[in-house]
């Protein structure tokens, strides 16, 4: 069963957001908060509304994927990776221990 209200620490924990982000959303008017004594509480409906109002992101392709796709469309097949190139690159990235 979903709780009716959340405290600020519970909102942070359940949304993987920091206190600063939550308080900024409250101060900007994006998230509605209420006071019960000295405690700030947020109704579950208001929390869901705020989360649903967050913008969706579109997956971006990496530059490498774009280059490979472009090369594949020009050649008609996927480019081949030379295994010796991978071995050389790995050797360069390792540190020498003396």
The residue ranges of every structural domain in the chain are 5-53, 63-93
Other beta carbons within 10 Å of 28 = 8
pLDDT in tens, 19-34: 999 999 999 999 999 9
pLDDT in tens, 33-80: 999 999 999 999 999 999 999 998 877 767 777 777 788 777 765 555
44-53 vs 8-15: helix crossing angle, rounded to 10? 40
Q: In whole angstroms, give the CA distance from residue 48 to residue 41.
A: 14
Stated pTM of the model: 0.59
**Three-state SS for 6?**
strand
């Amino acid at each position: 069963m979903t709780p009716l209200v959340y405290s600020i620490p519970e909102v942070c924990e359940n949304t993987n957001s920091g206190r600063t982000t939550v308080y900024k959303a409250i101060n900007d008017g994006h998230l509605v908060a209420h006071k019960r004594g000295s405690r700030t509480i947020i109704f579950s409906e208001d929390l869901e509304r705020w989360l649903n109002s967050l913008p969706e992101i579109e997956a971006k392709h990496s530059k490498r994927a774009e280059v490979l796709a472009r090369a594949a469309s020009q050649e008609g097949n996927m480019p081949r990776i030379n295994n010796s190139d991978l071995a050389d690159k790995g050797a360069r990235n390792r540190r020498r221990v003396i």
